[in-house]
Structure 1
Amino acid sequence: MGIRLVSTGSYLPEKILTNHDLEEMVETSDEWITTRTGIKERRISEKETTAELAYKASLNIPDLNPEELELILVATATPDAFFPSTACKLQALLGNKNSVAFDISAACTGFIYALYVADSIMRTKGVSKALIVGAERFSKILDWSDRTTCILFGDGAGAVLLEKSEEEGILGFDLGADGSYGDLLYVNSVGSNENPPYHLKMKGNEVFKVAVRTMVDSAKRVLEKTGVSPEEISLLIPHQANVRIINAVAERLGIDKSKVFVNLDKYGNTSAASIPIALDEAVKSGAAKKGDLILFVAFGGGFTWGSCLIRL
C-alpha cells in the first residue's frame, strides 16, 4: 500500500502588483528587480484571509469531496490568528467534521514538512485521504518602505489531495533545520520589543549562500536514498524564491534548465504556497504528467530545508 498525490489546485488573488507599481512606492526599478530576482509581478490579497486563500485553492482541486477528508494540514507562516489554526478555519469553510486539522510552521519549507507529516500519519494511523495546503498572505507582514524585502513576496495558495493507493507515489524525503541561522530571516511576534514587531527582516546575501547549499545537499540526499539519478528526474520544482538561487541549485545538481519549473516571475515568493502553486500549474499546463518523477526542494526561515521525490 502506498500514498499518491492524486490531484492539485491553486488560487491567486486578483490584484497584481507589478515592478513598475513598486517604482512608485520605493526606490527601485523594474530592471533592478528583474535582474536580481527574476520577479516581474506578484499577487496581493486585499480582503481574503489566509484561510480563505486556502479554501479557494482547495475548491479548485478536481472532484474534491470535503466530507471524505480525514486529515487537513495547512503549511503557513502567516496564519490568520494564533488559534484557531488556519487548518481548523479551512475545515469549517469546507464543512468537514471528520478530520484532524492543524497547521505546520516551517516558513518556505512548510509544504514539504506538511507532506512528510501527512505521509507519516497516513502510513501509520489508517488515514485514507488528506488535504495538504500551502497558503500565505505575506503582504500583511512586509515593511512596504523596505525595498530589499517588499519586492520579493506575494500572496497565494496551493493544495494537493493525497490518497492511499496500490501504487507508490511518495518515494522519499530529506528534511533538516538549523536554528543558529534564525537571525538571517525572521518575523518577530506581537510580543516582541521590536517596534513594529511584525515586519519581515532578511539578510539577503547570507540567505542566498545558505539556501543554495542546503537545497543542493538535501536534494542529493533524497536522490541517494531513493536510488534515483539527476538524469532520471522529469521535473524539478524548487521553492520559488529567486531565479539565481534556482539556477544555482539546478546547475549543481546537474539538472538541465529545461526540466526546471519556474513561475516566480508572475507570483514572486509565496513561501509555503510556492511549490504547490507551481505543481498545479505544471499539471494543468502538461509540464508534469502521470508517471513523471518530480523533485521538490525548498529552504525557509528557521533555517529549515527539505526535499521530496514523488512519482505523479
Structure 2
Amino acid sequence: MSATAYSRIESMGVCLPTGVQTTPQLAATIRGNGGVDIEKITGIAERRVYNPEPAAGEDSFGLALSAARDALYSSRHTAADLDIVISASITRFKDGGRLTFEPSFAVMLARELGARSAVHFDVSNACAGMMTGVYLLDRMIRAGAVRRGMVVSGEQATRVAQTAAREIADSYDPQFASLSVGDSAAAVVLDASTDAADRIHYIELMTCSEYSHLCIGMPSDCTPGIALYTDNRSMHKPDRLRLWPRYHADFLAKIGRTFA
C-alpha cells in the first residue's frame, strides 16, 4: 500500500431496541421533577429502551452484535474478510445485566460473527470511543497494517436514566443530563479507498483532560446502580466553548483554509 493510501467507510449498521419511552413517560417516574418540562429543555421527545429479558438480546453486547451483522449485511466483505474488530462500548452489559470486562467485547464479537482470524481489542474513551476506534482503524489501513476492519459500539445507557429518575432533585441536579440518553448500537466497516470522492480525508481528536471531572460515570452515591454526574454549568463556560473554534482554526491554518 502506498504512502498516500486513504481509508473509507465501506458500510454502516445500526440496531435500535424495539421498546420506546416518551419523555412524558420518563418524567412521570421522576420523584423530584417539580413540573420541569424535560422535553422542552432537552429537545428529546422519545428514546429507545432495551428489553431487560436476557432472551431479547438487547443488552450492550446483543445490540452491538446486531449492529455488526447489519453492517456486514450491506458490506461486500464477509466476517472472515475482516483483519481487525474494535469494540468501543462504554456500557459493557452481557447476558441481561452482567457487567463484563474479560474476555473483551471485541474478541466475543469476532467469534460470534465468524471473524476467526481478526485481531481484536476494546477501546475505552467515553463518548468519543466510536470516533477513537475509527481513527485507529483509519491509521492502521493507511499504514498498511490491515486491509479492512470493523468498529462497533453497543450502549445500554438508559440504566443511568433509571438511576436519575430515582434520585434526581431538580433541573440543576448533576444527573439531569442522564435523562437525555437512550439505547442503541452502531457499526462501521472500513477498507482502503480507491476513489478521491469516497474516503476519510481527515480525523482530528482533541483531548482536554483538565475537564474530565465534569462528566463522570460511576456507581451511584445514593442507591444501587450506575449513575452519570455532569456539571453542565461548568461545561458551558466560555473557556470550554472556545476550545473547539480555537483548535479548528489552528487546523485550518495548517492546510491553508479558513472558516469561510
Please state if 1:73 is matched with 2:86.
yes
Q: Are residues 1:54 and 2:75 paired? A: no
Query: Residues 183 and 11 of structure 1: is their aligned pair in 2 closer, same or farther, counting only changes over 3 Å?
Result: same
In terms of Rg, which structure is larger?
A: 2
Paired position in structure 2 for 1:177: 207
C-alpha distance 228-87 of structure 1, shift in aligned 2 (>3 A): farther
Counterpart secondary structure, 1:172: coil
Match of 2:183 among 155, 162, 184: 155
What is the TM-score when the length of structure 2 is the normalising length? 0.77
Q: Which of 109, 129, 133 in structure 1 is aligned with 2:152?
A: 133
Is 1:20 the counterpart of 2:50? The answer is no
Report the number of matched residues: 229
Task: Flag the 1:24–1:194 CA change in 2: closer, same or farther, 3 A.
Answer: closer
Question: Greater shift after overlay, 105-114 or 118-127?
Answer: 118-127
Please give the residue correspondences for 1:1-312 in structure 2 after superposition, counting only pairs within 5 Å. Answer: 1-26=5-30, 27-28=32-33, 32-47=37-52, 48-61=58-71, 62-63=74-75, 64-80=77-93, 81-142=100-161, 143=163, 144-147=165-168, 148-168=176-196, 169-188=199-218, 196=224, 198-209=226-237, 212-226=241-255
Residues 76-134 of structure 1, C-alpha deviations (whole Å, 9 max, x = no match)? 21123122222222112212101111111111111211111111222224311111123
The one-letter amino acid of 1:182's match is S
1:227 CA displacement: 5.1
Q: Give the partner amino acid of 2:194.
A: E
Deviation at 1:156, TM superposition (A): 0.5
Q: 1:161 to 1:23 in 2, by over 3 A?
A: same
Change (3 A) 1:193 1:28: closer
Q: Distance in 2 between matches of 1:184 and 1:167?
A: 42
The runs of 4+ residues in structure 1 deviating greater than 6 Å are 192-195
Q: Tell me if structure 2 keeps the 8 A contact 1:74–1:104.
A: yes
| Letter aligned with residue 145 of structure 1 | R
- Give the structure-1-normalised TM-score: 0.65
CA contact (8 A) 1:16 1:44 kept: yes
Q: Which amino acid aligns with 2:117?
A: N
1:202-243 per-position Cα deviation (integer Å, ceiling 9, x unaligned): 112222347644444444455445556556xxxxxxxxxxxx
- CA-based RMSD of the aligned residues comes to 2.7
Structure 2 SS opposite 1:151:
helix
Sequence identity, in percent? 26
Amino acid at match of 1:21: Q
| Distance apart, 1:155 and its partner CA | 0.9
Unaligned runs of 5+ in 2: 53-57, 94-99, 169-175
The one-letter code of the counterpart of 1:60 is D
- Structure 1 position 4, deviation (Å): 1.0
Stretch deviating more after TM superposition (40-49 or 222-231): 222-231
Distance 1:188 1:94, change over 3 A: same
In structure 1, list runs of 5 or more residues that go unmatched. 232-312
Q: Provide the rounded CA distance (Å) in 1 between the counterparts of 2:40 and 2:131.
A: 28
